[in-house]
Amino acid sequence: MQESAIILKEHGVRPSLQRVCVFRYLRSVKTHPTVDEIYTALLPEYPSLSRTTVYNTLELLITNDLAISLDFGDGFLRYDADCSPHCHFKCKGCGKVFDVFVAPPDCTKIVPAGFTLTGTSLYMFGLCDKCSVGKGGARLLRLRSAQAPAGMTSEN
């Protein structure tokens, strides 16, 4: 808990108990949780915590570059404490969101003249490895491998 409090202080955020617990939780999971998922996970240990406090804390973390929000068009946001340049893949089968540690493309050259690019996000959609197998993905991968030129596989 101390490490999270120190990071908050370094970013000018007063490390209240609620802020520290939300930030620590967000840093500890890789599931890209929603406000409700964070609230539900923390409630047993912090019964006085409210959804509003979780939401406000997440907004404060975003404002201070300690978290990012992800909007996949589902009607709710997901959150990530990893602010390093990377992309996200959402499985249309199970709904899980995965980090893809490749920087989003550099779009500075395609932005209209006079515009200033301040960020780039890349969301990918498809089926994860587990859902691909369950939905005929293994068959599709076998077909692609059979059609691939010599020396190439579907993993290339």
pLDDT at 29 over 60: yes
Q: Does the structure show a pLDDT above 50 at 155?
A: no
Q: What is the CATH number of domain 1-82?
A: 1.10.10.10
The answer on pLDDT for 78 being more than 70 is yes
Alpha helices in the chain (DSSP H): 2-10, 17-28, 35-42, 51-63, 129-134, 137-147
Comparison of pLDDT for 155 and 109, the residue scoring more = 109
More confident residue, 83 or 133: 83
Q: Give start-end residues of each CATH 1.10.10.10 domain in the chain.
A: 1-82
Tell me where in the chain the CATH 3.30.1490.190 domain(s) lie.
Answer: 84-156
pTM of the predicted model, to two decimals? 0.80
pLDDT surpassing 90 at residue 45: yes
Share of the chain above pLDDT 90, in %: 74
* Separation of alpha carbons 156 and 151, rounded Å: 9
Structural fold of domain 84-156: Dna Ligase; domain 1 (3.30.1490)
Largest Cα–Cα separation, the chain: 62
Whether residue 141 has pLDDT greater than 50 = no
